[in-house]
Amino acid sequence: MKQGRTILAVLLLLLAAGCSAEKEQSKKTADEPSSKTSDEADYTIIEASAQQIEHIQGIGYPGNDTGLYLSSSDGLKFYKDGIWHETTSLNHDYMGFQAVKEGFIVSGQPDKNSVIKNPLGIVKSTDKGASFKNLAFSGTSSFPFLVAGYDTNIIYMINQDKSEELEAGVYRSQDAGKTWETVSLKGLEADTLGMIAAHPTHPEIMAMSTRSGIFFSQDRGETVKLVSDPVMATALAFTENSLYYAYADQEKVQMSKIDFETMENSQIKIPFLSYDNPITYIAADNKSNVRLAISTYLKDLYESADSGANWQLLLKNGRIE
């Protein structure tokens, strides 16, 4: 199941899950205190040992640090100043990792040695993963398909299975997880759902990847329109003025950028990636507007310091040497 989280066939969910049939509704969740554990005093970030990362489950640039964060099934990894780092404890199985200005928002399952409720629900950390504030669904659900605006309170997520709190479908919260409402996605001419992206500063702007291309919204997902060719899109991410997206086409993986001023698409040159190694995540550094990172299904990780003109390989097949 973990390996399948990143492959396109699993990333793209059937629209028949019920989201389009839902009517607008709000759901209340309890605002819980921060989660603390007995391991917190031992939580330290150290230089990483040689290891094999089994699953890349998200990447991003939190605003309270300068490094690139990688979330995995075995905790956080950090690439900073040319060195990989890891944590000494609290190695949670992270899913739906989203970098925000104050830190990051994430879901998943806690470390087996942690006293945090399982599953995590949706939580937020402002101290590089040493502790968390519960935002929603603590102990009841986890959300691999989760996105948050970098400098807004808006959160989107796909609820894959009906629960006591929510029907299956796509939801948004405009108050950092306190209440939830369904997302209509009117105009979605696709039979699948995929990854969601939220604009870093404008809460009304979001986008979704599908097997039929990229669908764009300026009203928080109430209506969407196709803004790319009908390609099999696998990942996407906003910068302040652009939307980057990756797709599989003509037996290879490609990446493009949509300029908001003109809404024109332009090709981004990336290292060669075969069709069986699609891009699974794209991350943009909202503090620089030129730094990007991409990860792939076969656990390669690349970073660019010039908006995609040049790329540096940080990981090959998930191996930290």
Instruction: Write out the DSSP string of 103-143.
Output: EEEEEEE--TT--S-SS--EEEESSTTS-EEEEE-TTT---
* 8 Å CB contact between 182 and 209: no
How far apart CA 248 and CA 237 sit, in angstroms, is: 16
Mean pLDDT rounded to a whole number for the chain: 89
How far apart CA 102 and CA 63 sit, in angstroms, is: 6
What are phi and psi for residue 84, nearest 5 degrees?
Answer: -85, 140
pLDDT-wise least confident of 91-95, 105-109, 111-115: 111-115
Q: What is the pLDDT of residue 41?
A: 56
Tokens of 172: 């948004």
Give per-residue pLDDT as tens, 279-303: 999 999 999 989 999 999 999 999 9
Q: What is the pLDDT of residue 18?
A: 37
pLDDT-wise least confident of 30-44, 88-102, 132-146, 147-161: 30-44
Q: What is the pLDDT of residue 225?
A: 97
How far apart CA 269 and CA 256 sit, in angstroms, is: 8
- Single out the residue of 300, 295, 298, 246 nearest to residue 268, CA to CA: 246
How far apart CA 185 and CA 244 sit, in angstroms, is: 20
Give per-residue pLDDT as tens, 244-273: 999 998 789 999 999 999 999 999 999 999
- Quick check: 8 pLDDT over 90? no
How far apart CA 293 and CA 313 sit, in angstroms, is: 10
- Quick check: 50 pLDDT over 90? yes
* 8 Å CB contact between 52 and 276: no
**Average pLDDT for 293-317:** 98
**Average pLDDT for 207-220:** 97
* 8 Å CB contact between 293 and 79: no
How far apart CA 293 and CA 307 sit, in angstroms, is: 9
Distance of CA 217 to the CA centre of its chain: 18
Whole-number percent of the chain with pLDDT over 90? 81
Residue type, 110: P
- Please report the sign of the dihedral spanned by the C-alpha atoms of residue 53, residue 214, residue 176, residue 23: negative
- Residue 119: asked if its preceding bond is cis (omega within 30°), the reply is yes
**Average pLDDT for 152-174:** 93
pTM for this prediction: 0.89
* 8 Å CB contact between 158 and 145: yes
**Average pLDDT for 304-312:** 97
- Quick check: 7 pLDDT over 60? no
Q: Which residues pair with 310 in a beta bridge?
A: none
**Average pLDDT for 82-91:** 96
Q: What is the pLDDT of residue 250?
A: 78
How far apart CA 150 and CA 165 sit, in angstroms, is: 26
**Average pLDDT for 148-174:** 94
Distance of CA 93 to the CA centre of its chain: 14
